[in-house]
Amino acid sequence: MLGLKDSGLLALSTKLPANFVFYLVLKSKVRNERPHKILQHYLNAKAMLRPNVKWDSRNSTYTLFGQGEGLEGWHVNPRYDVYIPTKSMVEKLKSSYGVRPTLMLKKLAGHYSLYPARGLWPT
């Protein structure tokens, strides 16, 4: 996390690996922010890593850290969770709904987005 006085360090984001996140807090220094706001900033910064998934059509696989095409309906949110379904979950979803997801995005209020190797089935 960087404050406005340290915003020049954002230039380092192009020189470091994609698993480094630079998050700007809109205060002159991070320590000037209220503690509960620092926690929110931390969770937002952490969320930039965890569910940052893209589709790489050249290799037919999901990738992390912004390499590939964005997924339809995909939003980064600290309260979302992303995971690969187990074989039994895939079979249950196939028999119940006729879909075979290879990636699932758990959203708020029990909503899910199911992603096959191509396309999207929102549920």
Rounded distance, CA 4 to CA 27, Å? 6
Q: Is 73 left (phi over 0), alpha (psi -120 to 50) or beta?
A: left
Helix (H, G, I), strand (E, B) or coil at 108: helix
Amino acid occupying residue 41 = H
Name the residue with higher pLDDT: 34 or 78. Answer: 34
Give the pLDDT score at 5.
94
Strand ranges for 16-75 from DSSP E: 53-56, 61-64
Sign of torsion over alpha carbons 77, 7, 21, 116: positive
Q: Which one of 34-38, 97-101, 117-121 scores highest in mean pLDDT?
A: 34-38
- Tens of pLDDT, residue by residue over 51-106, are 678 888 887 788 876 678 878 777 778 888 888 888 899 889 889 988 888 888 88
Confidence of residue 120 (pLDDT cuts 50, 70, 90): very low
